[in-house]
Amino acid sequence: MTVLRFKRILLKLSGEVLMGENGLAIDPAVTARVAGEIADVKAQGYELCVVVGGGNIFRGLAAAAKGFERATADHMGMLATVMNALAVQNALEQIGVSTRVQSAISMDKICEPVIRRRAERHLEKGRVVIFAAGVGEPYFTTDSGAALRAAEMKCDALFKGTSVDGVYDADPKVVPGATRYNTVSYDTVLAKNLKVMDASAIALCRDNNIPIVVFNIREHGNFAAVLAGEGVSTTVQKEQ
């Protein structure tokens, strides 16, 4: 029997990983592929919590810059994360993975509210728990939601599935020759303002000693490979 590196993990999915080339905010084929990556990892015996973003549909900060009132815009952003959570739930259940969605904003016709002990029981029963609506308050992001759920659910690591393969010392799209870190400390990320997650999420992970693994979830087999300690990724952790 293979010994797993971690027992319980939290996967943060940026909303953009559900987008397709065709401009669809939630592309069913792309969402199905992401669900497939999650199902493969689940089948290996990991306990899985998932936090989904909403940036593919609506980002509060961007809307506020265009004149929206910030709190209203953030409420809309949180609703976007619920749509994504349902899309991921649907895709997972279609391939036989049992799930529950818990939202930080109560929507009792659609999903459960966030109840930690109940989420715990779902994990014991082998369900994937998908957390929606971030922390449930404006002026936050789903990165903070991911760090919070990782801490309260006592996850061994936070895996951030995006469409880039790790953390670079500069923006690789702008700076040719930017290099990817294999590991980097929380404090370096904060001091250099590296684009990993927002500062409050990094600080919460640091204070609870939760490693953050940034990887590309769009590459087939990469999530499982990175979990096995292979594949391409960056781990943000305490200074060694």
161 near ligand UDP (CB under 6 A): no
Distance of CA 198 to the CA centre of its chain: 13
60 is in an annotated binding site: no
Size of the site for ligand UDP (CB under 6 A): 25
Torsion of CA 228, 27, 198, 144, to 10 degrees: -80
Closer of 35 and 73 to ligand UDP (Cβ): 73
Cβ atoms 16, 94 nearer than 8 A: no
Minimum distance between the CB of residue 144 and ligand UDP, rounded to whole angstroms?
Answer: 6
Closer of 5 and 102 to ligand UDP (Cβ): 102
143 is in an annotated binding site: no
Strand partners, 8: 47
Sequence-distant (6+) residues with CB within 8 A of 7 are 46, 47, 156
221 is in an annotated binding site: no
Integer Cα distance of 139 and 72 in angstroms: 10
Closer of 193 and 240 to ligand UDP (Cβ): 193
Closer of 127 and 149 to ligand UDP (Cβ): 149
Integer Cα distance of 124 and 7 in angstroms: 12
Q: Which among 69-77, 114-122, 178-186, 203-211 is the span making contact with ligand UDP, rule CB under 6 A?
A: 69-77
Q: One symbol per residue from 75 to 114: x for binding ligand UDP (CB under 6 A), - otherwise; what is it?
A: --xx-xx---------------------------------
Tokens of 90: 């649907």
Minimum distance between the CB of residue 53 and ligand UDP, rounded to whole angstroms?
Answer: 2
Q: Which of 9, 10, 11, 14 binds ligand UDP (CB under 6 A)?
A: 14
Tokens of 4: 């797993």
Report which residue's Cβ sits closest to ligand UDP: 53
54 near ligand UDP (CB under 6 A): yes
Of residues 160, 165, 190, the one with CA closest to residue 179: 165
Cβ atoms 115, 129 nearer than 8 A: no
96 is in an annotated binding site: no
212 near ligand UDP (CB under 6 A): no
Q: One symbol per residue from 123 to 142: x for binding ligand UDP (CB under 6 A), - otherwise; what is it?
A: -----------xx-xx-xxx
Minimum distance between the CB of residue 220 and ligand UDP, rounded to whole angstroms?
Answer: 21
Strand partners, 160: 12, 214
Integer Cα distance of 131 and 146 in angstroms: 8
β-pairing, 233-237 vs 212-216, is antiparallel
Q: Kindly list the residues in this chain that would bind ligand UDP in the complex (CB under 6 A).
A: 14-16, 53-55, 59-61, 73-74, 77-78, 80-81, 134-135, 137-138, 140-145
